[in-house]
Structure formats: C-alpha cells, structure tokens
A and B are shown apart, each in its own frame.
Chain A
Amino acid sequence: GQQLNQSPQSMFIQEGEDVSMNCTSSSIFNTWLWYKQDPGEGPVLLIALYKAGELTSNGRLTAQFGITRKDSFLNISASIPSDVGIYFCAGQGSSGGSNYKLTFGKGTLLTVNP
C-alpha cells in the first residue's frame, strides 16, 4: 500500500525559532494536506494544497506541494508555545486509487520551550 515518510519524528525547539518538517511518498497524490493534533483531540486542518508547485501560507505557516507530487513540506515561523502538538501530513487522491481516502504520515511531535 501507499506509505508516507514524515520527518523528523520529533523536534524540540526554543520559542521564536523557525521549524520545518516534510513528507515524501512512494506514489503521486493529487492533494497534500497538513493537520495538527492536540492531545486528546482530533486532527485540525491547517493547510490544503491542490496543485503541484503550489506554495500556500496560513499566518505563520507555509506549505508547499512538491513539483513531483510526491512530497510536501510545512514551515512554521517564529514558533510560540501553543504550536506544541503533533503535525501530520496526509495525501489524498492518487492515480488509480480513490479520490477521498487520506493516507497519513506518522506525525512530527513538536515541543516548544518558552
């Protein structure tokens, strides 16, 4: 089956630092999504990317859809304590597959030291 490799697995940073995480896939996706999950809660959508090469921002978050359609990265600038959580990438819609099923990475655990 499809697999997403997300890295790093965890990050421990100081408040104010920038953060970068990425996902690579063995197959092509039509859509890349980034979610954040707080403890005991469900994933919350941060950014959705629909076009290869697309660069999209949402406040301090910036994400890009790789031109090969097999990768994506998420940057967080000037981190703050409430950025703490687990960040998941997800691919949706692959050639020969469904256009609804989300395939998730294993997550990046972000800890921000005030």
Chain B
Amino acid sequence: NAGVMQNPRHLVRRRGQEARLRCSPMKGHSHVYWYRQLPEEGLKFMVYLQKENIIDESGMPKERFSAEFPKEGPSILRIQQVVRGDSAAYFCASSPFSETQYFGPGTRLLVL
C-alpha cells in the first residue's frame, strides 16, 4: 500500500532551464495538491487538481509555472526558465476526496 511518491527527490538546475517534478498519488486518490516550502517556512498552497482538471491554481505564480494531472500517469509540476528564487522543497499531497491530505517526501529543487 504505497504512499504518495514523488520524483526526483533532488533536482539541480541552472538558471533558465526547465524543472519537471512528478507526483504519483496514493492508490484510489483522485485529488492532488502541490505545496512549496521555502527554508525555515511552512508549506504554502500552490495548486489543486483532479484528473484532467485544474480546480484551484490561486497559489501558483502566473508566469513560468504550470501543473497538470492527466488521465493516465502522474501529476506534473513544471517550472520553466528557473530562477534562484525557485529553489525550495516542493511537496505533493493526495486525498480520496476533498479532505485529509497525505504528503509525499518532496522534491528539493536547487537552482544554481
């Protein structure tokens, strides 16, 4: 009974490159959430998706960031043309309905 899986666990990118973060929700969960955690801060909501639909992207920067949760396969958080300020831990959570969220281990992104 695997939990939420995220890969890669660590990602290093140079400024201007693209970062692609993947999240596989728990089995039976159709709701996915992405959060960002800056050093010594709490997690901040970015986006909420259900299969093939973005429900709420109010916490996501308007430019360079996008998210998807296709019918088949993992949810993807994509950051284009990364900048140093994008360095953070990105966590994915999933839930069966819009309730208790279970978190993955996160992807630590470092932009050089």
Contact = CB atoms under 8 A, between A and B. Distances in A.
A106 interface: yes
Interface of A: 4, 6, 33, 35, 40-45, 48, 88, 90, 98-107
Interface residues of B, number: 26
A44 B42 contact: no
29 contacts: A4-B42, A6-B42, A33-B100, A40-B105, A40-B106, A40-B108, A41-B106, A42-B4, A42-B6, A42-B106, A43-B43, A43-B91, A45-B100, A48-B100, A88-B42, A90-B42, A98-B48, A100-B31, A100-B33, A100-B48, A100-B99, A100-B101, A101-B48, A101-B56, A101-B59, A102-B33, A104-B44, A106-B40, A106-B41
Which 8 pairs show the lowest CB-CB distances between chains A and B?
A104-B42, A42-B103, A100-B98, A104-B43, A42-B105, A43-B103, A106-B42, A101-B45
Contacts of B33: 100, 102
Nearest to B43: A104
